[in-house]
């Protein structure tokens, strides 16, 4: 998701303990150095759910209320 998406900001702050722009900078560094591949960017929770459901091995993050698909497994991070 974009750096300014509220879900992305909350995920970065509460689960990764960094700001969203710091995560983007880390990915940019890996991509531009040729040592990593950027994650697929989505524009909405619905798009995230669809992408995770249709991509084998994919992981993503969503608001709990947005998970309405039995094609994905839910892991809770505490």
Indicate the DSSP class of residue 3.
T
Q: DSSP 3-state assignment of 30?
A: helix
Query: Is pLDDT at 64 greater than 90 in this prediction?
Result: no
Query: Is pLDDT at 78 greater than 90 in this prediction?
Result: no
Cα separation, 26 vs 35, in Å, equals 11
How does pLDDT run across 31-58, given as a tens digit for each residue?
A: 999 999 989 999 999 999 999 999 999 9
Indicate the DSSP class of residue 44.
S
Give the predicted TM-score (pTM) of the model: 0.81
Percent helix, strand, coil in the chain, to 5, is 50, 0, 50
Are the C-beta atoms of residues 3 and 20 closer than 8 Å to each other? yes
């Amino acid at each position: 998701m974009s750096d300014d998406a509220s879900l992305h900001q909350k995920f970065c702050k509460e689960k990764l303990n960094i700001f969203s722009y710091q995560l983007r900078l880390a990915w940019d560094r890996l991509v531009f150095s040729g040592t990593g591949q950027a994650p697929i960017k989505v524009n909405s929770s619905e798009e995230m759910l669809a992408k995770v459901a249709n991509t084998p091995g994919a992981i993503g993050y969503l608001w709990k209320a947005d998970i309405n698909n039995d094609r994905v497994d839910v892991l809770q991070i505490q």
